[in-house]
Chain A
Amino acid sequence: MSEGIKLKRSGSKKRENRAGNIIAYIILIPGGLIMVYPVLFIILASFFTPEEFNSTILNFFPIAENPTAVNWKNLIALGADKAIRNYYFNSIWTTLYATFCSVITSFLGGYIFARLKFRGRNALFTFMLMTNMVPGIIATLPTYLELVRFPFFGGNYVFTGGTGLFDCYGTYILLFGPCLNVMGTFLVKQQIEALPNSYEEAAKVDGAGFFRIVFVIVLPLVKPMLAFIAINTSIGCWNNWATPFYYTESADLQTIASAISRQSIFAGREGTIVDYPAIMSYSLLLTIPSVILFFCFQKYIIQGLVHVGLKG
């Protein structure tokens, strides 16, 4: 249709349009370069050996004199030392766990709040949405205090000594666990409410149980939204440096993201020079997977973002 309108337009309009397009190119392409620049920088810097990295001053587009793949080899799990393998392991399992939990809770929660009728449903949901408006910063310290004094864990008996759930795998299991994902529940609920009820009715008449209806009939219909929630959670969790940094201490519990933050914050605290080669190689580990994930699933991300923006 827009083509038709364009044909009707006069020559001057066309010229105007072309001028606008050129301006768009002039701004968007260099802008796009700026947007990917740090990722490019990290990738290029990864071809330096640590010695070369330390002895030279990197250009805007650093190109190593003798590019080596030694960093890449060191980063791949087989060649990596134990610490990096640990970071990898922690990052991956927490991300998978958090993603699974948030998808399952938003899906089941969304279905329950959309379709099942029980007393106090709307009140409960409104309450959850309101608590979602409370900024997270208020809970950062209390979470730490709660973890440290968590009863019955880590040599902790009702408020006496011990470390509770601070600094152990339990920290991650608790914090990334299946707690109701309010935003995800909201999105799924909206999506299910927009769907017709008839499939579920038909299945119910045929004698299908709750889980059968939910997983066989409803799940395929809300898949794009669940994909959006999954990708958002996994990228968020992969980049989450704060949870490991604040709520754990020992080195073998860190993830890649928190390893970076520890490098620079401890260097700042102790007044030593920041170990940039290490930070750059961790950054490489950190950025590449999320960028790849984004390019694989960008359709869902953009769809979901549009949905959130228009209806959220």
Chain B
Amino acid sequence: MKTKNQFDKERLYATDDIFVSDGIKRKKQKERIFLEGKIKKKISKDVIIAWSILTPMLIWWLVVSGFPMLVGFVLGFFEWRNVNAVPKFVGIDNFIAFFKDETYLGDLGRTIVFGFGITLVTMLTSFACAFLLNRNIKLKGFLRSIWYIPAVTSPVAISHVMSLLFDPFKGVINRLLEGAGQEPIILATNIGWSIALIFIYSIWKGCGSGALIWLAGLQSIDPDLYEAAEIDGANKFHRFWSITLPGLKPISLYVFITGIISAFQIYEPIAFITNGGPYGATNVLALRIIQDGYQNFNFGMAGASGLLLAVLIMACSAFTYKAMTKDRGSL
């Protein structure tokens, strides 16, 4: 259709610059009007099909995510304590309250620390795993599938297995520790282990799938480059530094940004393993938003925290994107 349209257009404007008599001009004009109509008709058919299919999907999108997102952006500026109450506009009072309250600030700090910590550690471990999985060993395919399994298992189920292992009464780990004469790990009071468990869970969950993405990046690098470098006498470290790392830049950007987005919203391990405890030492903003919304019915405060978290995540990803693409122009 594109070519046919172009063909019509060519016929249409072919005579524009040529000197022709009035009669022919008029004839051409008539033809032009006719053809223009035809082209318009063709375009409009495309448009009709496109919009008649897109409109229902877009309306559905508006209802399911567009409108809630919009509400999410303004909810923080209202005071709203009951579903049936009328929301009252209070300006930035909620945000002031947020920055005055130490628990909220603590949650924000922990969100940032956990977010960056989990993302970086997961990135490094999965990067190392990708190198190992890239070796030409037996069981390669099988090991890759096995390592990907955490990504498809249910976070709820796995969190419960973990909390069962560390259960003060029924957990095998505490029984073994007691048998060895050590202090048992009680998650309700042990801050260090609570944080460690959340990290372990997140690394376990993200390592395999991250490794497969890194692996794709490693395999997309042209092997001729390595060969050429080897002939030129570059050693292993040199090859890694000046071929592998630059070649992995786009992938690392992708892994980092997706990692940040999910790690800043980390919820399941915290809700099901530590439940924010001990004494709020693992509470993060995502958990606080849910508590504010569903237990305290303080929608305004939850909206404010949600907006701050979302802005933080978007700023982080935008900043990383800018910083990584600056020196190369584009990816």
A64-72, A79-87, A176-184 - the one binding chain B: A176-184
Known contacts being A141-B302, A179-B64, is A305 close to B209, with CB within 8 Å? yes
Q: Are B314 and A133 in contact (CB under 8 A)?
A: yes
A133–B68 alpha-carbon span in the complex (Å): 15
Chain B proximity mask over A96-111: 1 for CB below 8 Å, otherwise 0: 0000000001001100
Q: Is A283 in the interface zone, CB < 8 Å from B?
A: yes
With contacts A142-B69, A305-B209 taken as known, whether A276 is within 8 angstroms of B164 at the C-beta atoms is yes
Q: How far is the CB of A27 from chain B (nearest CB, A)?
A: 6
Task: Of the listed stretches A34-42, A188-196, A222-230, name the one at the interface; the rest are far from the partner chain.
Answer: A34-42
Classify the secondary structure of A's interface with B: helix
Tell me if A201 and B289 are in contact (CB < 8 A). no
Minimal beta-carbon separation of B41 from chain A (angstroms): 14
Contacting pair B50 A57 (CB below 8 A) = no
Contact B161 A42 (CB under 8 A): yes
Is A15 in contact with chain B by the CB < 8 A criterion? no
- Indicate whether B213 reaches chain A with its CB closer than 8 angstroms: yes
Are A119 and B47 neighbours in the complex by a CB distance under 8 Å? yes
Instruction: Name A286's contact: one of B51, B154, B162 (CB within 8 Å).
Output: B154
Task: Determine if A135 and B314 form an interchain contact, defined as CB atoms under 8 angstroms apart.
Answer: yes
- B271-306 CB mask vs A (1 if < 8 Å, else 0) is 110010000000000100110011000010011001
> From residue B85, how far is it (CB to closest CB) to chain A in Å?
11
User: Contacts A276-B164, A294-B152 hold; do A28 and B143 have CB atoms under 8 A apart?
Assistant: yes
The reply to whether B161 and A38 form a contact with Cβ atoms under 8 Å apart is yes
With A139-B68, A141-B299, A179-B64 as given contacts, are A279 and B160 in contact (CB-CB < 8 Å)?
yes
Contact A138 B46 (CB under 8 A): no
Question: Which residues 185-219 of A sit at the B interface, judged by CB distance below 8 A?
Answer: 197, 201, 204, 210
B residues with a Cβ closer than 8 A to A are: 1-3, 43, 46-47, 49-51, 53-54, 56-58, 60-61, 63-73, 75, 83-84, 129, 132-133, 135-137, 139, 143-150, 152-158, 160-164, 167, 170-172, 175, 204, 207-209, 212-213, 216-217, 220, 223, 227, 250-251, 254-255, 261, 264-265, 271-272, 275, 286, 289-290, 293-294, 299, 302-303, 306-307, 309-310, 313-314, 317
Please tell me which one of the listed residues B2, B64, B135 contacts residue A24 in the complex, with CB atoms under 8 A apart: B135
What residues of B have a CB within 8 angstroms of the CB of A286 in the complex? 154, 156-157
Contact: A117 with B132, CB < 8 Å? no
Question: What 4 pairs across the A-B complex have the smallest Cβ distances?
Answer: A283-B157, A142-B71, A138-B72, A142-B68
- Contact at B137–A257, with CB atoms within 8 Å? no
Taking CB atoms, residues of chain A closer than 8 Å to B2 are: 197
**6 sampled A-B residue pairs with Cβ under 8 A:** A24-B132, A41-B161, A139-B72, A141-B303, A180-B57, A310-B250
Q: Quick check: is A260 within 8 A (CB to CB) of the other chain?
A: yes
Q: Which residues of chain A are near B220, meaning CB under 8 Å?
A: 310
Given A116-B46, A197-B2, also A180-B61 (CB < 8 A): yes
Among B57, B171, B209, max chain A CB count under 10 A is at B57
Most buried by B among A136, A141, A302: A141
Q: Is the interface of B mostly helix, strand, loop or mixed?
A: helix
A268 within 8 A of partner (CB):
yes
- The answer to whether A137 and B289 touch across the interface, beta carbons within 8 angstroms, is yes
A144 to B75, CA, bound (A): 13
Give Cα A204–Cα B66 distance, bound, in whole angstroms.
36
A207 to B143, CA, bound (A): 50
Q: Contact check: which of A29, A118, A241 meets B51 at CB < 8 Å?
A: A118
Partner of B56, one of A174, A178, A210, A261: A178
> Do residues A290 and B265 form an inter-chain contact, with CB atoms below 8 A?
no
Answer whether residue A52 sits at the interface, using C-beta atoms and an 8 A cutoff.
no
Cα A282 to Cα B164 in complex, Å, equals: 14
CB–CB A261/B272 < 8 A: yes
Taking CB atoms, residues of chain B closer than 8 Å to A105 are: 57
User: Is A265 part of the binding interface, using a Cβ–Cβ cutoff of 8 Å?
Assistant: yes
Contact of A35 among B72, B149, B164 (CB under 8 A): B149
- Nearest-CB distance from A182 to chain B (Å)? 8
Using A32-B147, A137-B286, A146-B71 as known contacts, list a sample of 19 further A-B pairs with CB atoms less than 8 Å apart, ordered by residue number in A: A24-B135, A27-B132, A28-B147, A38-B162, A57-B172, A118-B46, A118-B47, A121-B50, A139-B68, A141-B72, A141-B302, A142-B67, A239-B156, A257-B156, A264-B163, A276-B164, A291-B152, A302-B144, A305-B212
Interface string of A1-32 (1 = CB under 8 A from B): 11001000000000000001101110111011
Is residue A221 contacting chain B, with contact meaning CB distance below 8 A?
no
Is A123 on the interface with B (CB-CB < 8 A)?
A: no
Nearest A residue (CB) for B264? A135
A135 pairs with B49, CB closer than 8 A = no
**Complex interface residues of chain A between 257 and 292 (CB less than 8 A to chain B):** 257, 260-261, 264-265, 268, 274, 276, 279-280, 282-283, 286-287, 290-291
Q: Does A143 contact B (CB under 8 A)?
A: yes
Residues on the B chain within 8 Å of A116, using CB: 46-47, 49-50
Within 8 A of B (CB), among A288-309: 290-291, 293-295, 298, 301-302, 305-306, 308-309
The answer, among A35, A128, A210, A287, for a CB contact under 8 Å with B147, is: A35
Inside 8 A of B275's CB, which chain A residues have their CB?
268
Which A residues touch B310, using CB under 8 A? 134-135, 137-138
**B217 and A309 contact, CB distance less than 8 A:** yes
Q: Name A307's closest neighbour in chain B (CB-CB).
A: B216
User: Measured between alpha carbons, how far is A32 from B275 in the docked complex, in Å?
Assistant: 28
A131 within 8 A of B: yes
Residues of B within 8 A of A235 (CB): 152
Which residues of the partner chain A approach B254 to less than 8 Å between Cβ atoms? 309, 312
Find out whether the CB atom of A265 lies under 8 angstroms from the CB atom of B54. no
